[in-house]
Structure 1
């Protein structure tokens, strides 16, 4: 305990307790590859678990992409969450995981070459179960000999996320889930969501799950990943994670110039179409026991520029059809007034009358023939047998 207090005092005398490395370094830590000083590391993150007293080993590759020979030095630091963005704050490794790791002190890399090095983790027998987090840095400057400060320079590093097995409390939950700025009315996609997840347990949590967009009929219109960046939430911290429901037009909306153009906005709403009331239902699982967390948010998508454009189009179609029908009606009346259709009507009536007379004559002839046959039958003499 006394040693720990002395170390802390010495660190305070060094001037800095928490040291934030450049934003570019953080970007590297969470992207597959990042190039600083023409040095590339892979992998950029090690997620590993072990028992107290166990020695773990992991390979990492250093790639010198410069045209000159370089020498790189190894250094270590612990890190913890800073704010809700997931950005790490690096802490000088006076204890914890940063002091459990070891690798070569330095490495000479010829131009445009690569080498594989081993990183060993010696977990103490009395290590606390749960999450421990550190980073292995590589830079062109040797590490400082002052244990109370952390050398600042152009560095790249590999995150090490260690879980020491044992009885670990896993507890967390969703604090908030909504759209960006809690907006409930949209004219088109994309719709941006965020949620704040609290990890009150003893190990990191990586939420997994989906956000389902349910329309007014309860059908799933779309389903997106709730953790697209596969972000981890460190113990006793809150992290804000974002996800986007994107349309076919991508994430970018109309520019300021487009905003002055009604037709352009209607076209954009058509390419990124959604309509009506939606309920975003998020289901997350986390931890080794696959605990679940639920939340939902209701919003509307009404592409009113597009709707007005469609209504105007339908109105124009109605006017055109009505105009054509009226023109046809006037043309038909004109033909009738000039007698063309009158002659046709007279000829049709004449033919109908002629057919009627012919039918009557045929009927009369058949009747007379029948009567004549009946008369002849009456006049015919009857023969008697004697």
Structure 2
């Protein structure tokens, strides 16, 4: 079995495991809806990106659908959230236990009454975001999660995010804000490869006051400066919250024999001002097994050639000596 086939099977098993095993965090997905089999609830949209103004209120709607086969009652609760890790997951925190610097939860108004839905039942739930006059410009974040447990139980016990589902809200209050980010790492997992794939890691740090959505590409060049390929970074348009880091992974594979030194340049653009940052890295692809086999074959071929040449020369010399002796014998016989 080829190495690529083994890797594919291992990856499939890992993905199947992650699909089956319940998680304690919710990923941000750039889709129109998100579902949870544990609660039987489908939510739309999964992300609100709101432009907010001081002293004004935004009126929004969340669409709920019970995709299960039994009647369920869902209870909404508002959380603050912070990034968990560097892959786009969130950690949800009760507002009173969170840092209010970037918390939107305190300005969200939604009825906490239970919402009962029959199987396949649908409903639109209203909520508002009321921004006070003295609010500072910048980014603010919250999540409205729905659970089959009453709010008073969730607010007084350990939060089990796996049994909750709901949209996250990314809000931005208009005004003078700082958009600033940087690439703190652009690397490959090895400096020397036998052959592709090459795995790139790009880590972007948001040091500003609003969430950013860095997008860009990785350009790959050979030692002669010829562009071989191009990879898209942050193809799913993931957000990077203020004062956080997000990691983006890319894999490069080329279906042809390549060898030598290569250079990769990453270029990311972010913010309304179209700021951009770049980094470069070099790596080698040397298929040493093939090179070693080639060297061994060359050595064996040269050795055989030398042996054959020596044998040929010895044969020629022997013939010359025999001819000379024969000529001498003929002279002596006369």
Q: TM-score, normalised by structure 2?
A: 0.72
State whether structure 2 residue 171 is matched by structure 1 residue 157: no
Alignment of 1:60-139 (within 5 A): 60-94=62-96, 96-105=103-112, 106-139=114-147
Q: Which residue of 2 aligns with 1:214?
A: 221
Offset at residue 276 of structure 1 (A) = 2.5
Offset at residue 225 of structure 1 (A) = 1.1
RMSD, matched Cα: 3.0
8 Å CA contact retained: 2:30, 2:236: no
After superposition, the C-alpha distances for 1:171-213 in whole angstroms (9 at most, x for unaligned) are 2211221112xx1111222211112222111111111111101
8 Å CA contact retained: 2:215, 2:235: no
Offset at residue 313 of structure 1 (A) = 9.9
After superposition, the C-alpha distances for 1:161-180 in whole angstroms (9 at most, x for unaligned) are 11111110112211221112
Q: Which residue of 2 aligns with 1:26?
A: 25
Residue 49 of structure 2: which of 44, 47, 62 is its match? 47
Alignment of 1:272-351 (within 5 A): 273-306=257-290
Q: Using the alignment, how far apart are the partners of 1:188 and 1:58 within structure 2?
A: 52
Offset at residue 145 of structure 1 (A) = 7.1
Offset at residue 57 of structure 1 (A) = 2.7
Offset at residue 303 of structure 1 (A) = 2.9
Offset at residue 48 of structure 1 (A) = 1.7
Q: Using the alignment, how far apart are the partners of 1:290 and 1:60 within structure 2?
A: 32
Residue 172 of structure 1: which of 170, 173, 181 is its match? 181
8 Å CA contact retained: 1:92, 1:149: no
Q: TM-score, normalised by structure 1?
A: 0.63
Answer with 35-44 or 132-141: which moved more.
35-44
8 Å CA contact retained: 1:43, 1:60: yes
After superposition, the C-alpha distances for 1:21-43 in whole angstroms (9 at most, x for unaligned) are x9725344436434232212122
Q: Which structure 2 segments of 5+ residues have no match?
A: 1-20, 300-334
8 Å CA contact retained: 2:78, 2:105: yes
Residue 230 of structure 1: which of 219, 228, 237 is its match? 237
Answer with 220-229 or 31-40: which moved more.
31-40
Higher strand share: 2
SS in 2 for 1:231: coil
Q: Using the alignment, how far apart are the partners of 2:158 and 2:78 within structure 1?
A: 9
Which is greater in Rg?
1
Q: Using the alignment, how far apart are the partners of 1:188 and 1:234 within structure 2?
A: 36
Distance 1:124 1:222, change over 3 A: same
8 Å CA contact retained: 2:27, 2:89: no
Q: Using the alignment, how far apart are the partners of 1:60 and 1:86 within structure 2?
A: 22
Q: Using the alignment, how far apart are the partners of 1:116 and 1:246 within structure 2?
A: 46
Distance 1:110 1:246, change over 3 A: farther
Q: Using the alignment, how far apart are the partners of 2:298 and 2:35 within structure 1?
A: 54
Count of aligned pairs? 272
Offset at residue 104 of structure 1 (A) = 3.9
Q: Which residue of 2 aligns with 1:140?
A: 148
Higher helix share: 1
Q: Which structure 1 segments of 5+ residues have no match?
A: 1-21, 248-270, 316-386
Offset at residue 245 of structure 1 (A) = 1.7
